[in-house]
């Protein structure tokens, strides 16, 4: 949000003539806690999670970063995909909040 506001100001002043921001970016943490995917685990959930993951996603659906670690137990490909789907939901909410904040 701060970067968008700064770039808007530079575009308005003429210091920039082309918008350098191509996509929105958001990051979330999620994990598998007691067999269930959880977005933004709290401390107790994170401490006891079977898996923990961090995702940085772009508003066009692309993945900028994905990092997942088995902590309490290993997980399969479907477990990773469940976390990615949850991360997309969380980042979608962040993208909406970002747009609302700069309007």
- The rounded radius of gyration (Å) of the Cα atoms in the chain is 17
Q: Name all domains of the chain by residue range, CATH numbers in brackets.
A: 22-102 (3.30.230.70)
- Look at residue 72 in the predicted model and tell me its pLDDT: 84
Q: Give the pLDDT band (50/70/90) at residue 2.
A: very high
Report the candidate in 36, 59, 60 with the shortest Cα–Cα distance to residue 48.
36
Report the candidate in 38, 3, 34 with the shortest Cα–Cα distance to residue 19.
3
Query: Is 0.95 surpassed by the pTM of this model?
Result: no
Q: Tell me the per-residue pLDDT of 23-73, one tens digit each, with 9 for 90 and over.
A: 999 999 999 999 999 999 999 999 999 999 999 999 999 999 999 999 988
């Amino acid at each position: 949000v701060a970067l968008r506001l700064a770039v808007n100001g530079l575009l308005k002043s003429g210091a920039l003539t082309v918008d350098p921001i191509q996509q929105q970016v958001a990051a979330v943490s999620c994990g598998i806690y007691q067999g269930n995917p959880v977005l933004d685990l709290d401390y107790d959930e994170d401490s006891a999670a079977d898996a923990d993951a961090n995702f940085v996603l772009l508003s066009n659906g692309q993945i900028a970063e994905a990092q997942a670690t088995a902590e309490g137990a290993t997980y399969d490909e479907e477990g990773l995909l469940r976390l990615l789907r949850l991360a997309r939901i969380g980042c979608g909410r962040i993208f909406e909040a970002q747009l609302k904040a700069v309007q």
